[in-house]
Structure 1
Amino acid sequence: MNAPIAKPKSTRVDAAAVVRSARTVIATEAAAIRALEPRIDQTFVDACRLILGCKGRVVVTGMGKSGHVGRKIAATLASTGTPAFFVHPGEASHGDLGMILPQDVVLALSNSGETDEILFILPVIKRQGIPLIAITGNPDSSLAGQADVHLDAGISAEACPLGLAPTASTTAALVMGDALAIALLEARGFTSEDFARSHPAGSLGRRLLLHISDVMHTGPGIPMIHPDATITEALMEMTRKHLGMTAVVDSEQRLLGVFTDGDLRRALDDDGVDLRNAHVSDLMTRGPKVIGADKLAIEAAQLMEKYQIHALLVVDHTQRVVGALNIHDLLRARVV
């Protein structure tokens, strides 16, 4: 027999009650976080020392909502200089324990400290001599008692009015994990460049890892003419290369100047300039802004912004032109 279909409840919303409820949740969880601060003591230092001395990786495990928090903690550790990954405790007892090696450290999360799936695999972990750090809400729990280091993330109350849904407890555990990750980051001297190397596809990675040589036009793609070229020849070169400018170089491809759309507009506004007979050397900008191929692409963006220009020539130490780029190249590379 099919279960009766529940009648939809009223969709009317008591705005004041909704706001009051949300603010209560925030206040409850904020209080749970504040309660963690005095617990950052020698025990926390011991946990950091265990992880810093680890020759392998931090293996994070947790069940249910603690597992979701554990996955995030593992990801944060891994991205901030502490190699880490997550193992589901249920899968661990069906083969995934082989992923945990004697040189690793296990970080186990359980609010009650009595999660069966975690307690079931503890004897195997202990027999291998693998250090165990536990984050629980119960210092008197089985998990806390078997841990080499226990971090207390206990709370006075969940934010859920029923006291059932993990809310403040998961927030407290997550903050404790973040505290570990950042303390370890600083202890290792982890830098923004290190962070970028583990986030090459992110905006910070592109800013800190992408060099001019990665985005510049080279070889036949460089707009380049000699100083005795006519304005028409300069415009044809600019049109072919699509960079809005052309380098003016000597016979050794050393930079003499640059001819841009702006130079052309200024010449058109000057009644004294005979464009039919002028050479590009008569109208070019001498001493243009340039950049080296080994510089970061973000430095090119900063240079363009500072001097309100849209393209740059790339030169070597002898002032020989080796590349060119414009703002569109930086946009395509998502540097700006």
Structure 2
Amino acid sequence: MAGNAPAVIRLMSESLASKIAAGEVVERPASVVKELVENALDAAAAHIAVLCEEGGRRLIRVTDDGSGIGEADAPLLLVRHATSKIRDEEDLEAITTMGFRGEALSSIAAVARLRIRTRTRESVSGVEVRAEDGEVTIVEAGCAPGTTVEVRDLFHNTPARRKFLRTAGTEFGHVMETVRRAALAHADKSFRLVHGGKTVFNCPPSSLADRVARLMGEEVLEGMGEVDARAMGPKGLDIRGIVGRPELTYPAPKALYTYINGRPVRDRTVTRAVLDGYGGLVAAGRYPAAVIFIDMPPSEVDVNVHPAKTEVRLRDGSAVYRAVRAAVERALRRGGGGGGG
């Protein structure tokens, strides 16, 4: 080795490393909304409100009435990999929460101006956490029980990322789809979405059928059949939801929503099973309208594939495929109906 060669490997600054790591979690405003809504759901919120300005580029505010965060935990809110949801490696085999990696808030704080106001129901007062350009302040605050998170000026300190954002309309379209996915999975909770001062949708707690009609349209609900099946055997798969009439199809899977243990997922095996359940009723290259929920033991699915948590690995994909396909086939044979609750 050359004794006088200058060192070319250097340790990144904490700020630079945080911005790079944030890129895996925060791709665009919709990524922020997804993480914050998931936190609200994990906090057992009954009411979730999302407000955006300029497609979420200027402001995202998510408010919930969940459990809130106590003063003692506030200093850990923005510490990477600090989480209340798992404790050890064994917990990865039994994940039941939407979030678990402890990366979301720290990643958002690395690329935006962040303010969190939160209070537990047992506390007389709440706490406010502010973060901007690596500076964090924590003060006592008066606020209602629950949590409000404000994210301003996304990517203000990473112009290379900001320039790749699309128009406000395009970015808000992704935000709206993110909230729609969550609202379809949790019809028992209320969801409100506001953009530019205008309410886009306001969904009170309802049945799944009513939620589908409100978010996907009455024409989608018409003729839908209920999926309600339990696959016999050791896997214990529960499959429920609704499937649309075969005549209503789209050139892309924009109306095909699939969930595993309440988590919206993109999985080829599940999508293929739904399509094959329709058989020859849907032309090649077309996609039906359907909302399918698959519940299985957490040990049978690995959700720790990517920070976005939309990709999963199934321990027995063949069993899931067979069960979903059979459930869709049965629902279509039974014909229309009103959808599930």
Considering Cα pairs closer than 8 Å and 6+ residues apart, tell me whether 1 or 2 has the greater RCO. Answer: 2
**TM-score band (shorter)?**
under 0.3
Normalised to the residue count of structure 2, the TM-score between the two structures is: 0.20
